Amino acid sequence: MFDIIIVGAGLSGLQSALSAQEAGLTVAVVEARDRLGGKVWSVPLASGRGVVDLGAAWVNDSMQKRVWRYTQMFGLDVVRQRLEGQAVMIAGEGEGGRVEFPFGIMPEFSAAEKRDLERVRDHIQAESMQTGLPSQEQDAVTLDQYVRDLGARPKTRSMVNLWSQVMHGVESSEQSAAFFIDYCRRNHGLLAIRADDRTGGQYLRYHQGTSAIVEGIAGLVGHANIHLSSPVASIQDHGGHVSVITTNGNTFQGKKCILSLPTTLYKDINILPPLPPRAQEVYNSTRLGDYNKAIVCYDRPWWRDQGYNGFFMSFNGPVNLARDTSVDEKRQFSLTCFVNGQFGRDWSRLRSHERRKVVLEQLAKVYKVDRDSEVWRPIEIFDQVWMEEKFSKGALTPITAVGHLTKFVDVYGKPVGNLHFVGTEFATEWKGYMEGALETGERAVREVMNMLGPRSTL
Ligand SMILES: Cc1cc2nc3c(=O)[nH]c(=O)nc-3n(C[C@H](O)[C@H](O)[C@H](O)COP(=O)(O)OP(=O)(O)OC[C@H]3O[C@@H](n4cnc5c(N)ncnc54)[C@H](O)[C@@H]3O)c2cc1C
């Protein structure tokens, strides 16, 4: 009998395991996939030029202390997000819809459009610097309705929709204003989420890829304590102990169980006794976004020759936003294109070669190049669709149904019997990010220890 069985070997599960061991407890980590890391997944390039991150990529040294501690502990090399050069905004069809601008999140629209976008952005930023939960009124309307009610002009609404697509993989009409504002509140505000410099979430990347953090933590936990290729089918809380049963017939017995999957996946597991009705209602209604990456690797960073920094946004899709994700030291030159929300849903239905074709066509259009351009000669392309991953079913983090964030705050993420819940969606800081996943892992073990009271072991 283990002290704690942890379901899932993503960052929240692995951090739970490590924190539990540090508290003197024994653990078994039971993971469905044949690899570690969940939504962290760095894969090597066939060319031998380093890796690309199909999932999480960016970190911040001053704002994400847990991730940064591991960065230093494992001696990882970082590269600063490259901002030098012009960014491009595609806000409409034709030449008139294309704007080049220096790095920042505010493209040069007309004066009136710019004023309107700044007004709504500043309103959301001010809301996101408040504390506590947003109001029930904000939870009762979609984000799109919320900005319409603020009198937003069409371009402003499109920009808010783009934020929704790139932050959560859904349209602004598919999440409540409260969910969006709460997410911003937990993550240092809208501007920090959108920023690619030292003030925000897209500041640094790793030469070794983010999987190096996962591998490092797993090494500390001990690979013998982690059971891969073991999808959990059933969790039975007997009161005195918990049985965790996998689809391949193995049973793990523990005194407590920490569940680290996104809540959207809870319904895939037979939990007995069933979770309380209100917990089931909120968890059964969360959804994950269509959150995809097309990573296009080149022999050379040709876009820099033309004065571009590789950052572009598009209201026309299918790519909503792209960034230069090169690691020059390894001669890994890539553009990472996010194909999210409705565009991502449509794109994921295409065959792989068609997905790649439409992305290259869009790059050619954004950078105004002809058929002779290097745009058409990538050395490798990845088209990662997270909705197709059976043990993720989308990304970035589960989104509560309209009205549910405030209605179910008393049960959401709260322990039930011997079951405890972790995962980036429950993070109080950097929700949706690796840092947030680590935070919940640490917190769950404190929660378990506090419930034990003066007894120091289970
Ligand atoms: C495309 C993309 C880009 C991202 N970019 C960034 C970024 O730049 N910076 C950043 O900080 N974060 C980023 N993230 C988010 C980051 O990856 C996540 O916040 C974090 O990894 C979530 O960790 P987790 O432990 O909460 O969940 P997960 O990683 O989802 O872990 C859950 C684990 O449970 C396992 N599991 C599922 N079902 C079962 C079952 N039945 N039995 C056993 N195991 C099961 C899964 O296989 C998985 O390993 C990105 C994510 C994606 C997908």
Residue identifier of the C-alpha nearest atom 7 of ligand 1? 56
Give the pLDDT of the chain (458 residues) as one tens digit per residue. 999 999 999 999 999 999 999 999 999 999 999 999 999 999 999 999 999 999 999 999 999 999 999 999 999 999 999 999 999 999 988 888 999 998 765 677 889 999 999 999 999 999 999 999 999 999 999 999 999 999 999 999 999 999 999 999 999 999 999 999 999 999 999 999 999 999 999 999 999 999 999 999 999 999 999 999 999 999 999 999 999 999 999 999 999 999 999 999 999 999 999 999 999 999 999 999 999 999 999 999 999 999 999 999 999 999 999 999 999 999 999 999 999 999 999 999 999 999 999 999 999 999 999 999 999 999 999 999 999 999 999 999 999 999 999 999 999 999 999 999 999 999 999 999 999 999 999 999 999 988 876 655 56
One fold for both 2-39+211-275+416-452 and 110-194?
Answer: no
If you measure from the C-alpha of residue 354 to the centroid of ligand 1, how many angstroms do you get, rounded to a whole number?
27
Q: Judge if the beta carbon of residue 203 lies within 6 A of ligand 1.
A: no
From 3.90.920.10, 3.40.50.12780, 3.90.660.10, 1.10.150.120, which CATH number describes the 43-63+291-388 domain? 3.90.660.10
Domain ranges of the chain: 2-39+211-275+416-452, 43-63+291-388, 110-194
Q: What is the dihedral of CA 71, 447, 31, 339, to 10 degrees?
A: -60
Give the pLDDT score at 105. Answer: 59
Does the beta carbon of 42 sit less than 6 angstroms from any atom of ligand 1? no
Residues 246-297 have pLDDT tens digits of: 999 999 999 999 999 999 999 999 999 999 999 999 999 999 999 999 999 9
Distance separating alpha carbons of residues 426 and 261, to the nearest angstrom: 11
In CATH, 110-194 is 1.10.405.10:
yes
Give the span between the Cα atoms of 232 and 155, in whole angstroms: 46
Contact assessment for residue 242 and residue 235, using Cβ atoms and an 8 Å cutoff: yes
CA angle 169, 170, 176 (to 5 degrees): 125
Is 338 a known ligand-binding residue?
yes
Cβ of 264 less than 6 Å from ligand 1: no
Site to substitute for ligand 1 among 261, 293, 387, most atoms within 8 A of C-beta: 261
The answer on whether 95 is annotated among ligand-binding residues is no
Residue 94's pLDDT is 81
Break the chain down into helix, strand, coil percent, rounded to 5: 40, 25, 40
The amino acid at 421: F
In tens, the pLDDT along 401-424 reads 999 999 999 999 999 999 999 999
Fold annotation for 2-39+211-275+416-452: FAD/NAD(P)-binding domain (3.50.50)
Atom of ligand 1 nearest to the CA of 30: 43
